[in-house]
Chains A and B, each alone.
Chain A
Amino acid sequence: MAGQVARLETFQPEIVAFCCENSGYLAAQMAIEAKLSYPQTVTLVKLPCSGRVDALFLLKALENGADGVMVLACQKENCKFLKGNVRAEQRIEATRKTLQRIGIQPERVAFCHLAANMGHKFVEEVRGLYGKLTELGPNPGKVRK
């Protein structure tokens, strides 16, 4: 028991958040400006659309030390490129299945819809994934630890 508690205290999950520059990235900026507090181990990667998020990016992030990844996309029916967020969601589903097959918990990949003015939602989602990863423990799939 004591050992587990100690582990929980020291383990700080690393998260890579792939952000659509029309929504997720702006929401994150807003959270930062409003000084909302959220885990400090999040790395933002800005992309022109959530539709640009390649399965390759998610896997590479996990391989390179992330404990979880997330994709922040525009609200449904509100993608600047109309279908980018739909494509992204399908691709993420496929990536989760790949992960499951190789023995990595699919919950390590999170997806959410949000708008540029939703800094609070950004924080909520990051905390949500952070909490989940804390329970799951370190990512067993890291190639470079």
Chain B
Amino acid sequence: MSKNNKNSGVANLHLESSLESLPREEMSVTRRVLVIGGGIAGVETALQCAERGFQVTLIERSEKLGGAFGKLAALVEAGENPKDYLQSKFGQLEKNPLIEVLTQTQLVDLTGLVGNFTATLVTGTGKRKVKVGAVTIAVGLQTVFCPVKYGLAMEPNVLGLTKLTGELIEGKSFTGKDFTFVLGKTTENFVLPFISALKNAIYLKEKFGSGVSIFYTNMKVGGDGLEALYGQARNLGINFFKISENLELKLQNNQVTVSFQDPFIGNKLPGKYQVVSDYIVIPEEIVPVENIAELVEVLKVKLDAADFLGENNVHVGPQFTSREGIYVVDDIYATSCLAHIKQDAELVAGEIAGKLPAEAFSVEGDQPQVDAAKCVVCLTCFRCCPHKAIEILHDAEKYNNLYGSAARMNPLACRRCGVCVAECPGKAIQMPGYQDAQVVAVLEGLVG
């Protein structure tokens, strides 16, 4: 091979994107964003988008906005009064002429591509179509209480984390009661239960002087200020026990006994230890909201491996989905802290503003191009595009083939992976910078 560089042991022969002059394409788009979910994440996103000059349709399944934030966030968001915070946000929504709020409304169909989606909404009064340029999913998550997984029965002194939070917000007194938290068995992939447990533990300790022990496999406190929260809990005298597999939980006479072997002390003082308390608190399971499957089908996005929304992929941020123009605010793995939700909302609104900068603008047409004369409208590319970025256009004048139609890679929706190019059985698609002829020319140069 003539091009080998024998010194480094590699022939570095990559193709420079040939600087062919690419035609620019004129785009015209709708600068309206559909926000799905009227919880705090949806509300923040709507306001952020409006601030950037977008019109917004905010839809919520239930009768009112606010989601879990109003009910549960008091302890999770120490320092902010969530009800007041929500009220002020609702006020901003109402005053903003760009934002339309529809409660008891669901999305049932979405056609088109980024910039030009048509959404069909079902409201209390019937069906309605709205043109939108982008969609944001802010549906949050759901929790399921399942003590059986911890070998526990449904007893009054077995509490879920959110149940406890709710009771504390309602003002229930736990004076003189001791608590044991067990974390990490089933919800270790999520940060939220750790934060919530730490905040509840600190609150119990400070308000009621409760004795609190937290058993954990790994303490996940990645995120702004969260490590400090752990430090604060330790300083207050909350006991932390790292556990391995063998944790025995027993309920007897309204008391909970935890027997365990400590992997640290165990080396010096082997044997079983016991902690007795009045209540045991375990995290609820975190699951996607119940209509997620339908929503995903309507949006034609891909779920990650565990059926949660948002991409779980090192190359793609969790705010992105498999399709351009469809975003996620506060995905299920996120901390769901207000600070994080605000950050996400801002990021997504900024993304949308960058994607749809004006009602009309031009973009570089460096996406794969179809030679209509070779396209037989077999739909292979249409089906295999991972980003659903291909449309079939009909124009008998323009397309000089039997069908008067051809596939087209939409410049705003296409992520330029080249999958369609390689799959087209008619070799009708060429990718600028990576044309078949260019690659083959390189391969032909292999013989020395």
Contact = CB atoms under 8 A, between A and B. Distances in A.
Interface in A30-88: 32, 37-49, 51-57, 60-61, 64-66, 74, 77-84, 87-88
Interface stretch (B129-137, B191-199, B433-441): B433-441
Main secondary structure of the interface of B (DSSP, over half): loop
Contacts of B386: 51, 79, 81-84
A25 interface: yes
A87 to B, nearest CB: 5
A52 B9 contact: no
Interface stretch (B171-179, B286-294, B415-423): B415-423
Interface residues of B, number: 44
A80 B14 contact: no
Nearest to A57: B439
Contacts of B305: 77
B436 A56 contact: yes
A84 B316 CA distance: 14
Given A53-B422, A57-B440, A87-B423, A45 B316 contact: no
B265 interface: no
Contacts of A46: 14-15
Contacts of A65: 1, 446-447
Contacts of B314: 78, 115
Contacts of B302: 82
A16 interface: yes
Interface in B284-332: 302, 304-305, 311-316, 322
A52 B11 contact: no
A82 B446 contact: no
Contact of A51 (B13, B322, B419): B419
A81 B443 contact: no
A80 B386 CA distance: 10
A64 B444 CA distance: 6
A89 interface: no
Interface in B381-398: 384, 386-387
Interface residues of A, number: 48
Contacts, number: 139
Contacts of A78: 313-315
B417 A81 contact: yes
Contacts of A19: 14
A144 interface: yes
Nearest to A80: B315
A66 B387 CA distance: 34
Nearest to A17: B10
A50 to B, nearest CB: 9
Interface string B1-16: 1011010111111110
A66 B444 CA distance: 10
Contacts of A21: 14
Nearest to A39: B9
Query: B10, B315, B384, B431: which has the most chain A beta carbons within 10 Å?
Result: B10
A133 B444 CA distance: 21
Query: A28, A42, A45, A84: which has the most chain B beta carbons within 10 Å?
Result: A45
B34 to A, nearest CB: 23
Contacts of B402: none
A77 B307 CA distance: 13
Given A52-B421, A78-B314, A81-B417, A32 B447 contact: no
A74 to B, nearest CB: 7
Contacts of A14: 1, 446
Nearest to A33: B8
16 contacts: A14-B446, A16-B443, A19-B14, A22-B315, A28-B10, A43-B3, A43-B10, A46-B15, A47-B15, A51-B419, A56-B427, A61-B446, A64-B444, A80-B417, A82-B302, A144-B447
Given A48-B418, A52-B418, 4 more contacts: A49-B418, A52-B422, A83-B419, A84-B386
The 8 closest A-B pairs by CB, nearest first: A52-B418, A46-B14, A81-B417, A80-B315, A51-B419, A83-B386, A40-B9, A49-B417
